[in-house]
Structure 1
Amino acid sequence: MQEDLYALLKYRVLEQLDVSIAEYFYLDMVHQLSHNRWCTKSVEEAAKHMRITSRGLQKMRTRLIDAGYLRRNIKGHLKTTDKYFDIVTANRGVNKVRRGVNKVPPGGEQSSYKNNNRMTENTGASASEVLNRLYKPKPTVLPRYVVDERA
């Protein structure tokens, strides 16, 4: 089974890059396929996935190289540049915690143990006594069998 391929469109990144949506998707494809190495996907294969012509993708690739978002090695493999990476990472949606959310007093404990003895606080009973009351075995009632003694 083949893994699904997808691209996430980040509007702020698209605006800052000032490229078309097709160029954005191609940049994202190259970026995703070139982590710590070069993207070796052929122009024909990439064009097929993007549903455009090979010649159209070649023109797009040249524009992105000229804009400084892609670079090509001697073998023709591609990699996104630091210029592209800086724009993408500057707009990364990071979960930010507002100041004042952590209500732990300075110098106070960071976490406390969980008190599972809520039921014993009011009664003074031990945990085993409470459990015995809650899970007291029910008496077993045996069914009555009628024995026919005429047989």
Structure 2
Amino acid sequence: MFRVLIFTVLFTATVVNAFWTACGGSATTHEVTSNVCSGDRCNVVRGQTMIANTTISFAEPHHQLTVRVRTVLLGITITLPLTPEAEDACRGIFIQGSVFHGCPVTVGTRFNWVMETQIPQNIPAFQNNIVYTELLDHNDEIVSCSRLLATVV
């Protein structure tokens, strides 16, 4: 009983400190790290370069993957602009950490997806807002989704 209690406390502490949660799609997101996130949130400065590294396994093969980042401000869904390189997720798919793989991705393999983009100066500032980062297939169906809490200044 005592071991179960310790596991529950440690697991809860680990989950609370994660700045991201999975929010759908057929792929399994194992881990997300970023240079602009720590603890339970992300603090982004306009003009800053953001790098995110996601460890992911796909449930089906994909020959094309694009990225969409969106948030809701004042009840309106806004798609945040990305650089063309960041929009094409296939440009950032690696295997074994640093070996470029690209697309197609195969089932059952753990990939590292690295997205690097400059945060535009013209995006609106917001505080403690939910941001969704989504990988989309060739039919614009969500393959993977990560939800995080962010502040943009």
The TM-score range, normalised by the shorter chain, is under 0.3
Larger-gyration structure (1/2) = 1
Higher strand share: 2
Structure with more relative contact order (C-alpha pairs < 8 Å, separation 6 or more): 2
TM-score by length of 2: 0.24
Higher helix share: 1
